Amino acid sequence: MSSILIKNIRAVDTKTDRVADVLIDGGRIAEVGTNLHCGADQVIDGTDLVLMPSIFDMHVHFRDPGQTHKEDVLTGCAAALAGGVTGVLAMPNTKPPCDSPETIRYIIDKAKDTGVDVYPVGCITKGMIGGELCDYDALKAAGCICISDDGRPVEDAEKMRRALELSNENGLLVASHCEDLKIIAGGIMNKGEMSERLGVKGMDRASEDYITAREMILASSVNARIHICHVSTEGSAAMIRFAKSRGVKVTCETAPHYFQLTDELLAKRDADYRMNPPLRTPADVRAIIDAIRDGTIDCIITDHAPHTAEEKADFETAPNGVVGLETSLAATLTALYHTGEIPLKKVIELMCVNPRRILGLEIPAIQPGRTADLLIADLGRRWTVDPAKLHSKSHNSVFKGMTLTGKPLVTISKGEIRYDARNE
């Protein structure tokens, strides 16, 4: 493994922000200092650039096995690296669903040489149909660290309570996609003025708020951890804030489109702006930003959900979901950092540190001895999102055509450069 010396770069983690030289050797950070001179195999000039821990995205869909025409583990990992991401939680709604040790091992084995740590999420119930609980001990032994019936909540509250209860014994994090499918009942976008204008069925926010409240009540009843996925409403954010103040062991996440975009985009009748939960209102966007600022929201994720152009062609019948791995850092910097909403250290906490902390993984830092999972970014680089240039198999980006500020240039995984766009 070659050594890398990064010279004169702004090194930032949650505790450090200074210009320094950073030596990487043997897959780890060997030295951080000034005027370092050594016989490194490669020297990178970091002038005017930022070095930070790599991103961990704890909510992606790689569609592998079963829907590899949309994405597979290899292309998903390539997209991750292009976004500065070296670790992901891959959701279980594959075909077949990820409810067996064999599927867990298949995904881990396929990802092992990519430079991205892929942690498959196991199902809460077999087949993700809400019936029999999976064998959590077997899933954990195969490499699973989290369980979820993502895409549909466990409708039976007692089964969900039991899964949470068992999580105290097996140590697996339970994550919930908080939407009541009976309330949604075929809705395709946020229920409100825009859905009425377009004449399409909307998704009432009560769907998300109700299940969010239910999951926290169930978790509290057995003193278990619960992780709430992709928070999008003012109501859910407020309830999570209250639950945290009462000592409920709840963590949560949101995605860049929920703190940057609104359902006004659906006026285009373009299914690339449809995802689940949907884009909401300006008031929701402000509430999500406030929840990020005050620590209610723990993580920024993408919910990377690839679909083909053919599948997204019809506005009313297309599947929900947008890709996001390659735009997450840029979108977050554009909406939150460059607007002065949060400092860079807070971005790193939300995207790099907290996901790993919640999952019990090594906490990244730019310190000697730490694993060299890092990214180099140009915070001031302005670029326009061109879906055709994305590394994902699918190009259904909600940020298409938008100019963002800030771009990952180099992704280093365990001391090895896995992505380099400095000359693009």
Positions marked active-site: 303
For residue 113 the two structure tokens come to 């040489």
Matching residue, tokens 């583990």: 73
- Cβ 115 vs Cβ 78: under 8 Å: no
Angle at the Cα of 360 from the Cα atoms of 306 and 64, rounded to 5 degrees: 25
- Cβ 202 vs Cβ 187: under 8 Å: yes
Q: What gap in Å lies between CA 278 and CA 255, rounded to an integer?
A: 11
For residue 165 the two structure tokens come to 């209860």
Q: What gap in Å lies between CA 63 and CA 272, rounded to an integer?
A: 18
DSSP reduced 3-state for 126: helix
Task: Select from 410, 388, 257 the least CA-distant residue to 334.
Answer: 257
Write out the H or E segment, with its range, that includes residue 382.
Answer: strand 374-384
* Strand duo 173-176 + 226-228: pairing: parallel
- Cβ 290 vs Cβ 342: under 8 Å: no
Classify residue 334 by its DSSP letter.
Answer: I
Q: What gap in Å lies between CA 65 and CA 61, rounded to an integer?
A: 11
* Strand duo 374-384 + 403-413: pairing: antiparallel
Q: What gap in Å lies between CA 246 and CA 422, rounded to an integer?
A: 47
